Every structure is written in structure tokens, then in C-alpha cells.
């Protein structure tokens, strides 16, 4: 099987948003413009204005961050499809937290409209009921879990074998941060900029409220394997388990290391990342892929080579499309 037959599409989560995201694609491709305008119509507010200029500093609010990121990811994906004549048939799709919804859309499980409505409500509820904060620890899961639970916190995300994110009430996170500095003086913990302790029990109220929205959603059979954040296994092909997996995902840890291990078991050799961007430079063309470093470090730990292609702005979408 050639490398093009062993492709996985990946989509980043919250934290990869920035003012101006998508504006280059919007003006460069009618396909991207249609996606952004469709999002405006579906949500009944000017998502384009917030994404491109963010005049009221709203792009960092979860209720806006999540639909903007999903829309940007879909714009990147649709333009990439256009430039490659949709000739790539991926084996898997996967997304980190919010990105799992985009992965389900490209797999045909959700329509763009239904997926956008779901993440809009999800973001609204996470912002409304969100409490607490999150801390990234340079520790393996078991070690991080021990120190977290000793201070009333929980494991929220396993990004790398040696990087685990924990969450808890603000006061507990502060105590944990102090204890960590004392216990591991040569290591550095990093406080994350979120509106709450996502993927912990502090999101349970939001998850229960979101469950009502999930009950009304339709999930179709998938056209490719979609990896679940919660189980690190594939969603059922017929979509029958997806509703519950998305409910659990809100207040249970994201096992990103496990998701990537699953991709290795499917023989993935090529990964394409769509949407988002990180880095201090304000221009879209100077942003870096959010997941690339984490994924490459995991694959090195697995001792598995992987080819990586970013499709996160006009420049990289065009460049990566030419590779296929």
C-alpha cells in the first residue's frame, strides 16, 4: 500500500485560534468563502467579523472559539479537497477535543450544519458552566494522576507519554502548582488559558445540559475510521455509539497518546493537519501547526516514521496539496 493509502486527517482543538484566521482563504477561494458565509447563516451572528478582526476580543471566549475553529478547519479541508480533486482516501480521521467534531464531519457522520450547531452549543455551555483551571505537567499519566489527586484535581488530557494535563478548582490548581514546583524543581508546569477545567468532573454540569442537544442530533454511517478521544478506539461505523462518546468526552480525559497509538496500529504513514495555528506572528502564513510537534514526538516514541503536512492557511494548503 502506498503512503497515500495510509493517510490520517487530524484537527486541533481550542488554543489554536487567533484573530485573522481564515481571512486569507476567504479572499483566495470561493469554496472557503462559502463555508464562512454558511456558518454566519447557521449561527445567526457575524462569525466572519469575529474570526477576521475580533474587534471586541471575543475569539478567546469558548462560545465563539469552538465554532470559529471548526469553520476554519472545514474551510482548509474543502480547499485542500478542491486542489487535490478529492483523490486522497484517508484511512482515519481524528481530532483533539473540539477537533473530534470536525473529524466526524469529514467522515460523513455529521453534516457541517449539524456539527457547527453542536459545537456552538457545546462552547456556550462550557463557557457558561466552566469553572476551575488547567495545568500541563511534564509527567507520565500515573505520576501526574498521583500528584493531581493528592490536591483534589484530575487528569484531563494525555498529550505525550511525558506530558499530562490536569484540571481542578482554581484553589486546588494553585496548591498543586506550588507542590509540583517543590517536588520537581527542575521541571516546569504550564498554566493553560481556558475558561474551565475541561475534560474533568467540573464539566459534568455542562455535559448533562449538552446531552439534551446530542439527543436531537443525527449520526450517519462513517466513510472512514474516526478515533474517539475518550476510548482511543474507533467510533462504531454505523454511528450508534457516537452520541454517548461525545457526551463522555466533555468530562472524561482526552487520551491523545492512545489515539495516536491506534493510528499506528492501522499503519498510518502520512498525517495532514487542517486548521488553526499557533505562534506570536499575527499573519496566517507565519503560523505553525498546533498538533505537529506533539504528534511527531509521539511517533518518535513509538519508533514509527511519519510524513506530516500542514494545511492550516492559504500558503500551507496550497503547498501541501501540491505534494499529492
Q: Is 151 an annotated catalytic residue?
A: no
Q: Which residues, 6 or more positions from 308, have their beta carbon under 8 angstroms from its beta carbon?
A: 270, 271, 272, 273, 289, 292, 295, 296
From first to last of its 324 residues, the chain has per-residue pLDDT tens of 344 769 999 999 999 999 999 999 999 999 999 999 999 999 999 999 999 999 999 999 999 999 999 999 999 999 999 999 999 999 999 999 999 999 999 999 999 999 999 999 999 999 999 899 999 999 999 999 999 999 999 999 999 999 999 999 999 999 999 999 999 999 999 999 898 999 999 999 999 999 999 999 999 999 999 999 999 999 999 999 999 999 999 999 999 999 999 999 999 999 999 999 999 999 999 999 999 999 999 999 999 999 999 999 999 999 999 999
Sign of the C-alpha dihedral computed for residues 79, 84, 90 and 96 taken in this order: negative
17 in Cβ contact with 101 (< 8 Å): no
- Which one is catalytic: 199, 222, 263, 320? 199
Separation between Cα atoms, residue 206 and residue 211, nearest integer Å? 9
**Packing angle of the helix pair 112-129, 62-84 (nearest 10 deg):** 150
- Please tell me whether residue 55 adopts helix, strand or coil conformation: coil
C-alpha cell at 234: 474507533
Cell 489554536 maps to which residue?
16
Question: pTM here?
Answer: 0.96
The dotted CATH code for 3-129+201-322 is: 3.40.366.10
* Nearest one of 109, 93, 74 to 225, comparing CA atoms: 93
Say what the pLDDT of residue 1 is.
35
- Which one is catalytic: 16, 97, 120, 228? 97
Say what the pLDDT of residue 83 is.
97
Q: Is 111 an annotated catalytic residue?
A: no
- Please tell me whether residue 249 adopts helix, strand or coil conformation: helix
- Count of alpha carbons within 13 angstroms of residue 91, beta-carbon side: 18
Separation between Cα atoms, residue 179 and residue 254, nearest integer Å? 24
156 in Cβ contact with 166 (< 8 Å): yes
Q: Which residues, 6 or more positions from 319, have their beta carbon under 8 angstroms from its beta carbon?
A: none
Phi/psi of residue 145, each to 5°? -65, -40
Domain ranges of the chain: 3-129+201-322, 133-192
Beta strands in the chain (DSSP E): 7-11, 92-95, 133-137, 154-160, 163-168, 190-192, 225-226, 254-255, 270-274, 307-311
Architecture of domain 133-192: 2-Layer Sandwich (3.30)
Same fold, 3-129+201-322 and 133-192: no
C-alpha cell at 194: 481556558
Neighbours of 146 (CB within 10 A): 10
Amino acid at each position: 500500500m502506498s503512503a497515500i493509502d495510509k493517510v490520517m486527517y487530524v484537527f486541533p482543538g481550542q488554543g489554536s485560534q487567533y484573530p485573522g484566521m481564515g481571512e486569507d482563504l476567504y479572499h483566495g477561494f470561493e469554496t472557503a468563502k462559502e463555508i464562512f458565509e454558511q456558518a454566519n447563516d447557521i449561527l445567526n451572528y457575524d462569525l466572519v467579523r469575529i474570526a477576521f478582526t475580533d474587534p471586541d476580543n471575543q475569539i478567546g471566549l469558548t462560545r465563539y472559539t469552538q465554532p470559529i475553529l471548526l469553520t476554519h478547519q472545514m474551510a482548509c479541508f474543502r480547499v485542500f479537497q478542491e486542489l487535490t480533486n478529492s483523490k486522497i482516501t484517508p484511512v482515519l480521521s481524528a481530532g483533539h477535543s473540539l477537533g473530534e467534531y470536525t473529524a466526524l464531519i469529514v467522515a460523513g457522520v455529521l453534516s457541517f450544519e449539524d456539527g457547527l450547531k453542536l459545537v456552538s452549543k457545546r462552547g456556550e455551555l462550557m463557557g457558561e458552566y466552566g469553572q476551575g483551571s488547567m495545568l500541563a505537567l511534564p509527567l507520565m499519566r500515573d505520576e501526574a494522576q498521583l500528584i493531581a489527586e493528592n490536591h483534589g484535581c484530575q487528569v484531563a488530557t494525555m498529550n505525550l507519554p511525558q506530558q499530562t494535563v490536569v484540571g481542578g478548582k482554581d484553589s486546588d490548581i494553585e496548591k498543586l502548582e506550588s507542590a509540583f514546583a517543590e517536588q520537581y524543581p527542575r521541571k516546569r508546569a504550564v498554566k493553560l488559558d481556558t475558561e474551565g477545567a475541561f475534560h474533568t468532573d467540573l464539566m459534568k454540569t455542562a455535559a448533562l445540559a449538552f446531552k439534551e442537544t446530542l439527543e436531537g442530533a443525527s449520526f450517519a454511517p462513517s466513510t472512514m475510521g474516526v478515533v474517539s478521544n475518550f476510548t482511543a478506539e474507533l467510533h462504531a461505523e454505523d454511528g450508534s455509539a457516537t452520541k454517548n462518546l461525545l457526551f463522555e468526552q466533555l468530562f472524561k480525559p482526552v487520551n491523545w497518546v492512545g489515539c495516536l497509538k491506534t493510528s499506528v496500529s492501522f499503519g498510518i504513514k502520512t498525517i495532514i493537519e487542517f486548521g488553526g495555528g499557533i505562534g506570536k506572528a499575527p499573519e496566517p502564513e507565519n503560523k505553525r501547526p498546533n498538533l505537529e510537534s506533539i504528534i511527531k514526538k509521539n511517533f518518535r516514541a513509538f519508533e514509527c516514521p511519519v510524513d506530516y503536512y500542514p494545511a492550516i492557511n492559504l500558503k500551507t494548503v496550497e503547498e501541501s496539496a501540491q505534494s499529492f
